[in-house]
Structure 1
């Protein structure tokens, strides 16, 4: 329990949860009780009033933290996966031609090292495609944020055969504290963008509801304008933060998958093809709970000592 306290007072939590939580609280208060804001601020000048205000803001921030994962999945478009027609059209226009040309050129250069690309800006277009889209249309999500995050989620599978879904919670256990700190800061910006989208949407709806229920107040027009402007700002922050977070996630798999292999008792092969075989077996084992996939990993383990072999032999005879 107490090990979680630093996460509730760190910079990532302040940026990602407390700041949008404060904006949400102020926006709701302004929407439903605009005439009491000044009096409330005056009451909060005392020690007890300030403490009460901080507790309220902290509770709102914790509530935002609790809903953060489902909120980000909502913004990625997971509940609306059947509605990917626009994303598929964008993929066909902005990604598929570059993926196909890169594959063709790589195959051609196996026999002709001087082969030239047929697309004029292959490098630039391919770089944008691999950071904005997954490798196949079946992995597309309806929103740009979802596809940016999908793009780095498929990265370790494409290069190393390692599925990021089961690998991520395991690899973070072997990361250095400095790397974890940088990841938390990047995640804090992503959380801020997502929470700002949520807060601005709630404030707009609350303000419109308040205007229907009560006489209009001058602050409502300004509040609506600020909330409407904050909505696209939140989306932009979330997308930019997702790119930064994605770069760091790719670096984690590039630099620390050897640490993960060591923690699992595996020896990382020097041959890339053999490494992909190993990580595919690991992915099947963890995703589908397949003992046969675990057996495939045996040849990638370090030779057992005589003591370990004796222990296994004795274990086989247990009732």
Structure 2
């Protein structure tokens, strides 16, 4: 029993919460909304009657959850705006996200200038363009709750990567992209190609927090993906005449609305995931350098050069200059006395 508990608290728990539980919810929704097509009724699921059918449904849920977990990269990339998105649509969506990021940046600047003006600072020249702007003028008037508004705008802006070149076509894509480029923009550390190494040197508590935070995002991604599939299924069944009446179409619309809500919840859930990854990078990079036989430089500029050299060596080992750039940061090997084998 203790081994099972340890397994659930490890990777199995993330799989259960992130993929199997939302799959069970989606299957339950299908059974409740289309009882004529379900192999078991909702009452049987709740009461445990018709054991054979319940076991079959539960087994199907487990298999479906495992399959969705196996194709999670594809699901994420669709929601991030990459897979199945035509190039023109990707470009249009990126421009839209860039415009939204710039608007949030201007709103935050207007709010901070309004705060400075309220403190008696001379910002009349700087705040004038914002005050004359149709969409920004309201943010230059400091009133009750202005500090809360400033915090909310700053929170939305933090869900975008620092570098505009890293922008993704969707809100979820940008929310995930900011945690992927955090180590690179701050330290020059490519956490994408060194992620396995970072996980190996990170504390167990840090790894658990990262897995739990990722499971929260997985939950909403799986739930909304299932809702969309169910909505398409209900529309197809109604169009083919298998399900009659307005019920299937109402259910499809409701599922799409719920999927939109779960999408926003997934975007917000990435905040916790970002914090966990950020802590692994901030605290784990020193251990990573030591484990790789490197001396942590005194200056941040030199540290960036070190991690850039590591990234070049990992990405292109055939680069004749890659090893030379890294030699300056390597720690001198300590001679270890030879130990005879134990008899």
TM-score normalised per structure 1:
0.78
Structure 1 equivalent of residue 77 of structure 2: 73
Is it true that 1:82 corresponds to 2:110 in the alignment? no
Per the alignment, residue 270 of structure 2 pairs with 242
- The equivalent residue for 1:160 is 187
- Aligned twin of 2:237: 210
In the TM superposition, residue 194 of structure 1 has moved relative to its aligned partner by 0.9
* 1:217 positional shift: 5.5
Q: Which residue of 1 aligns with 2:117?
A: none
Aligned pair in 2 of structure 1 residues 292, 152: CA closer, same or farther (>3 Å)? same
Q: CA deviation at 1:233?
A: 2.1
Asked if the contact 2:24–2:61 (Cα under 8 Å) also holds between the matched residues in 1, the reply is: yes
Q: Which has the higher contact order (CA 8 A, sep 6+)?
A: 1
CA deviation vs aligned residue, 1:227-248 (integer Å, no higher than 9, x gap): 1332122102211111110111
CA distance in 2, matches of 1:241, 1:209: 32
Structure 1 contact 196–230 (Cα < 8 Å) conserved: no
The one of 46, 56, 73 equivalent to 1:52 is: 56
Instruction: State which of 14, 17, 21 in structure 2 corresponds to 1:15.
Output: 17
Q: Give distance in 1, aligned partners of 2:159 and 2:323.
A: 34
Q: Does the Cα contact within 8 Å between 2:104 and 2:157 map onto a contact in 1?
A: no
1:301 counterpart SS class: coil
In structure 1, the residue matched to 2:199 is: 172
Give a deviation string over 1:24-52, Cα, whole Å, max 9, x none. 33344566653656558549525544433
Alignment TM-score, normalising by the size of structure 2: 0.73
Query: Separation in 2 of the partners of 1:206 and 1:281?
Result: 51
Q: 2:227 matched to which residue of 1? A: 200
Contact 1:189 1:237 in 2 (8 A): no
Are 2:31 and 2:42, in contact at CA under 8 Å, matched by a contact in 1? no
Q: Distance in 2 between matches of 1:221 and 1:76?
A: 27
Q: Gaps (5+ residues) in structure 1?
A: 103-113, 309-319
Could you say if the C-alpha distance between residues 294 and 128 of structure 1 is closer, same or farther in structure 2, counting changes exceeding 3 Å?
A: farther
User: Would the aligned equivalents of 1:156 and 1:164 in 2 still touch at CA under 8 Å?
Assistant: yes
Counterpart selection for 2:324 from 287, 295, 301:
295
Structure 2, unmatched stretches of 5+, are 113-120, 128-139, 141-145, 338-343
Which structure shows the bigger proportion of residues in helix conformation? Answer: 1
Query: Paired residue for 2:251?
Result: 223
1:6 is displaced (CA, Å) by 4.8
Partner of 2:302: 274
Provide the aligned length of Structure 1 versus Structure 2: 293
Distance (Å, rounded) in 1 between the aligned partners of 2:106 and 2:320: 37
Deviates more, 1:133-142 or 1:243-252: 133-142
CA distance in 2, matches of 1:220, 1:125: 38
